């Protein structure tokens, strides 16, 4: 495993992907950014040493970084990134230390995953231990998302940079193999129990059963749903009334002349969603299809806006003969921000507004879109479909797929 780790860190040097440009958002110049980054690295080194001392005494990891202070970390300010000291900004994805406010994400915390990958009652510690069983000690123990690239302190004390998903750097293993759903397998739903895509940590999302009248061309997304239509799933306003799709009719519904199976949604990642504390996968792979078709209809939308023409995601069609084709999603062409007055703005010729609701029927504007694409290989059987985020500020989500 050490050889794998060495290969991994060699790859990091040449393959690091850039995270969102937090530097520009905070208005700091290059010199200041470099100074804050170096100071943060110094903090992480001290935190690592404190964790090792704690482990030697307790034969276990601390439940929280606050457990290190003051016995193992006399200076509590080490737990605060210089960017936080200057701006007040933090990014901990809902993993909040109950005893001492700090700026760092302790990924081995002995606390529920909650909205993170819909892990619910599964402990962060348990998930990370399973990841280590696959890729070893390169798994980050402490992370800081406040720089132009994320700083990762690995379990073995190495500090390396990455994009928002460190897993993207480890090409030897498929990123999906490190997800809690994959690692906990058939026990995932039972163990997750009390989590929720809404981020409220109270109850797991519930989805209406698929209608017996649903046809095979209405793709069954049941096992891929990670958020409920009836509950707020964007943590920009947890528990706030209106940040949901509760008014959307569910079951077999016709929108823009196409019948869809509407029961839940599949959210994928975007930078603004991650900055707000929402942890969703960057891709959802292997949606079963196993059929030929002439056209595909998608009921979908996105959170957050970006300039028109920005690629925000794609659907990848995987054919039985091994070929693939991409159906790209561009902001302003296929979708616009769902939580804005976008129902009257133009789209491309293949996309239309499928459903929209406005005040006074609802507190805010909400809009979903239908995009219809001709199958690029109509004579080929589509084995499966992958749903992939492009990593922009926008965070696309999918509600239904129907083929014809």
Prediction pTM value: 0.54
Q: pLDDT tens across 295-316, in order?
A: 999 999 999 999 999 999 999 9
CA distances from 79 to 53, 62, 160 (A): 16, 14, 18
Q: Can you give the pLDDT at residue 345?
A: 73
Taking 90 as the threshold, does the pLDDT of residue 204 lie above it?
Answer: no
Full DSSP string of 42-62: HHHHHHHHHHHHHHHHHSS--
Q: What is the pLDDT of residues 273-298, one digit of tens each?
A: 988 878 899 999 999 998 999 999 99
The pLDDT value given to residue 341: 60
Q: Which of 213, 211, 298, 216 is nearest to 263 (CA)?
A: 211
Residue 113 CA to residue 197 CA, distance in Å, equals: 11
- Note the pLDDT of residue 108: 96
323 has pLDDT over 70 = yes
The predicted model gives 157-167 an average pLDDT of 90
Say which range, 62-71, 89-98, 144-153, has the weakest mean pLDDT.
Answer: 89-98
Alpha helices in 162-302 (DSSP H): 180-184, 188-192, 271-275
What sign does the dihedral 222-276-396-164 (CA atoms) show? Answer: negative
CA distance 247 to 270: 24
Is the model's pLDDT at 197 over the cut of 60?
no
Confidence label for 360 from pLDDT (cuts 50, 70 and 90): low
Alpha carbons 248 and 236: distance in angstroms, whole number:
21
Measure the CA–CA gap between 350 and 368, rounded to whole angstroms. Answer: 14
Confidence of residue 171 (pLDDT cuts 50, 70, 90): confident
């Amino acid at each position: 495993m050490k050889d794998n780790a060495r290969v991994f860190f060699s790859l990091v040097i040449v393959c690091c992907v850039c995270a969102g440009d937090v530097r520009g958002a905070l208005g700091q110049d290059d010199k200041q950014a470099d100074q804050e980054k170096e100071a943060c690295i110094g903090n992480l080194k001290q935190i690592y040493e404190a964790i090792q001392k704690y482990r030697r005494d307790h034969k276990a990891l601390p439940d929280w970084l606050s457990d290190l202070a003051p016995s193992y970390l006399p200076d509590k300010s080490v737990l605060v990134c210089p960017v936080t000291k200057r701006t007040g900004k933090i990014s901990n994805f809902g993993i909040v230390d109950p005893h001492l406010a700090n700026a760092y994400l302790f990924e081995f915390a002995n606390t529920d995953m909650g909205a993170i990958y819909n892990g619910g009652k599964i402990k962060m510690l348990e998930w990370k231990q399973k990841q280590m069983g696959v890729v070893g000690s390169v798994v980050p123990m402490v992370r800081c998302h406040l720089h132009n690239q994320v700083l990762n302190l690995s379990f073995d004390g190495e500090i390396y940079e990455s994009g928002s998903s460190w897993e993207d750097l480890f090409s030897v293993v498929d990123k999906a193999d490190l997800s809690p759903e994959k690692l906990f397998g058939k026990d995932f739903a039972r163990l997750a129990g009390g989590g929720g895509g809404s981020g409220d940590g109270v109850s797991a999302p519930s989805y209406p059963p698929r209608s017996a009248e649903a046809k095979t061309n209405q793709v069954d997304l049941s096992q891929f749903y990670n958020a409920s239509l009836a509950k707020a799933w964007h943590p920009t306003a947890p528990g706030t009334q209106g940040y949901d799709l509760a008014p959307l009719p569910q079951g077999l519904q016709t929108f823009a002349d196409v019948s869809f199976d509407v029961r839940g949604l599949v959210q994928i990642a975007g930078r603004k969603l991650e900055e707000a504390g929402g942890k969703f996968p960057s891709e959802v792979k292997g949606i079963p299809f196993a059929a030929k078709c002439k056209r595909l209809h998608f009921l979908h939308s996105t959170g957050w806006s970006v300039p028109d023409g920005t690629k925000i995601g794609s659907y990848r069609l995987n054919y039985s003969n091994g070929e693939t084709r991409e159906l790209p999603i561009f902001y302003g062409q296929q979708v616009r921000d769902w939580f804005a007055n976008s129902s009257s703005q133009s789209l491309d010729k293949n996309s239309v507004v499928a459903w929209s609701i406005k005040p006074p029927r609802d507190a805010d504007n909400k809009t979903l879109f239908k995009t219809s694409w001709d199958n690029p290989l109509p004579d080929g059987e589509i084995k499966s479909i992958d749903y992939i985020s492009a990593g922009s500020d926008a965070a696309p989500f999918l509600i239904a797929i129907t083929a014809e």
